[in-house]
């Protein structure tokens, strides 16, 4: 895609939603998972650092940067669970890609919608390698903004056709079930987390409260289950009882980040975990047996956002679903920035 030096393609929320509908939600999730999978296969080519957080009593604001040496990407994201009380989203985000050779931005994009899509795609991609074969039933504990995306991603990538829903706020479960009508997914609303887990091959936990919680206890997890732990994603915020962790084979994105933010913050620093990229790149084993309990301790990592932004950028030339943003001062003579400012001065009105 050709772009003028002073104009940066910007994907607004409206354009992102139109792009998703143009491609189709499930196709978007499948293609996005494929993009992440390709980048995980070249994991070692990326600069990696745990995200940079600024914590408050109300939530957290984070920056998530990475580069493959040619393109730089970062995401700004917040997590404020109490926002829903005032009609705001718990999570909002935007992201940017830039050319490493010049430092010039290549694209700016909303990432509130895109983060929900990439989180779901990442969950389903991990389950492709870790879930029991022919898994068709998934429990979703926590039915907020992420739940429908999770259900659709697992349907698209794994063929899951029944979700068992539970939330402490029943209206959230009803909302999720209503939104999934016509999707080919059978929704069952459970009266408790324990009831939701019964008969499930996969259990996804995706609650929002910023605290150490016990959404799943050890007695709820039988042999062969795959746990997709999404909600525990900051220090002091977990969803699983520690006893489950001692029984499970644990897979993570980037250990230095997950040991601070994920479920494994409850374990010793030397507790063994497997990096998911190494499974995807055929460097390590995923699920090894029918009765094995597998756990994807998902906290989200910058490479996934990088993949998502690059996927969206590739779609812009063929769809035109972006706006040109006048973001960069680009004078005709690069050293004459002040002259550019003076030439823009408004003439005084003549009396």
Residue 184 near residue 155, CB atoms below 8 Å: yes
Split the chain (351 residues) into runs of 10 and give each run's mean pLDDT.
79 98 98 98 97 91 97 96 90 96 97 97 98 97 96 98 97 98 98 96 87 87 97 83 97 96 94 98 96 97 98 96 94 91 80 58
Pick the catalytic residue: 39, 167, 201, 233? 233
Supply the DSSP symbol for 210: S
Question: What was the pLDDT predicted at 210?
Answer: 61
Q: Which of 318, 336, 325 is nearest to 5 (CA)?
A: 325
The structure's pTM equals 0.93
- CA-CA distance, 9 to 321, in Å (whole number)? 9
The DSSP annotation for 306-325 comes to: HHHHHHHHHHHHHH---EEE
Supply the DSSP symbol for 201: S
Question: What was the pLDDT predicted at 232?
Answer: 73
Q: Which two tokens stand for residue 240?
A: 């699983």
Length of the chain, please?
351
| Choices 3.40.50.720, 3.40.50.1400, 3.20.20.70, 3.30.70.60: CATH for 121-301 | 3.40.50.720
The dihedral through the CA atoms of 291, 294, 272, 266 has a sign that is negative
Residue 152 near residue 26, CB atoms below 8 Å: yes
Instruction: Indicate the CATH number for domain 7-113+303-329.
Output: 3.30.1780.10
Q: What values do phi and psi take at 237, rounded to 5? A: -125, 105
Residue ranges per structural domain of the chain: 7-113+303-329, 121-301
- CA-CA distance, 148 to 129, in Å (whole number)? 21
- CA-CA distance, 172 to 166, in Å (whole number)? 8
Rg (CA), the chain: 22
- CA-CA distance, 325 to 244, in Å (whole number)? 49
Q: Which secondary structure element, helix H or strand E, spans residue 351, and what is its range?
A: none
Question: What was the pLDDT predicted at 310?
Answer: 98
CA distances from 302 to 11, 149, 224, 311 (A): 19, 19, 30, 14
Question: What was the pLDDT predicted at 351?
Answer: 58
Annotated active-site residue 99? The verdict is: no
Residue 39 near residue 118, CB atoms below 8 Å: no
Question: What was the pLDDT predicted at 27?
Answer: 98
């Amino acid at each position: 895609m050709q772009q003028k030096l002073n104009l940066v393609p910007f994907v607004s929320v409206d354009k992102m939603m139109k792009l998703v509908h143009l491609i189709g939600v499930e196709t978007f999730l499948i293609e996005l998972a494929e993009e992440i999978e390709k980048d995980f296969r070249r994991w070692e080519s990326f600069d990696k650092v745990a995200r940079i957080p600024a914590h408050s009593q109300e939530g957290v604001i984070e920056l998530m940067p990475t580069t493959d040496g040619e393109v730089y990407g970062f995401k700004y994201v917040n997590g404020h669970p109490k926002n829903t009380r005032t009609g705001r989203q718990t999570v909002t985000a935007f992201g940017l890609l830039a050319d490493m050779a010049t430092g010039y931005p290549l694209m700016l994009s909303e990432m509130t919608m895109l983060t929900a899509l990439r989180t779901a795609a990442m969950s389903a991609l991990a389950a492709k390698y870790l879930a029991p074969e022919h898994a068709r039933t998934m429990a979703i504990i926590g039915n907020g903004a992420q739940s429908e995306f999770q259900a659709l991603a697992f349907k698209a990538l794994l063929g899951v056709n029944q979700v068992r829903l539970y939330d402490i706020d029943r209206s959230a479960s009803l909302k999720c079930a209503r939104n999934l009508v016509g999707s080919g997914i059978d929704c069952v609303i459970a009266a408790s987390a324990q009831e939701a887990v019964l008969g499930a091959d996969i259990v996804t936990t995706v609650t929002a409260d910023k605290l150490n919680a016990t959404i799943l206890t050890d007695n709820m997890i039988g042999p062969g289950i795959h746990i997709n732990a999404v909600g525990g994603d900051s220090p002091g915020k977990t969803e699983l009882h520690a006893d489950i962790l001692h029984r499970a084979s644990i897979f993570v994105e980037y250990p230095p980040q997950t040991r601070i933010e994920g479920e494994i913050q409850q374990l010793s620093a030397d507790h063994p975990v497997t990096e998911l990229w190494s499974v995807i790149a055929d460097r390590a084993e995923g699920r090894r047996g029918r009765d094995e309990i597998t756990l994807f301790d998902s906290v989200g990592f910058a490479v996934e956002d990088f993949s998502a932004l690059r996927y969206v950028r590739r779609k812009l030339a063929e769809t035109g679903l972006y706006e040109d943003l006048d973001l960069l001062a680009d004078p005709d003579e690069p050293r004459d920035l002040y002259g550019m400012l003076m030439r823009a001065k408004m003439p005084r009105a003549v009396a």
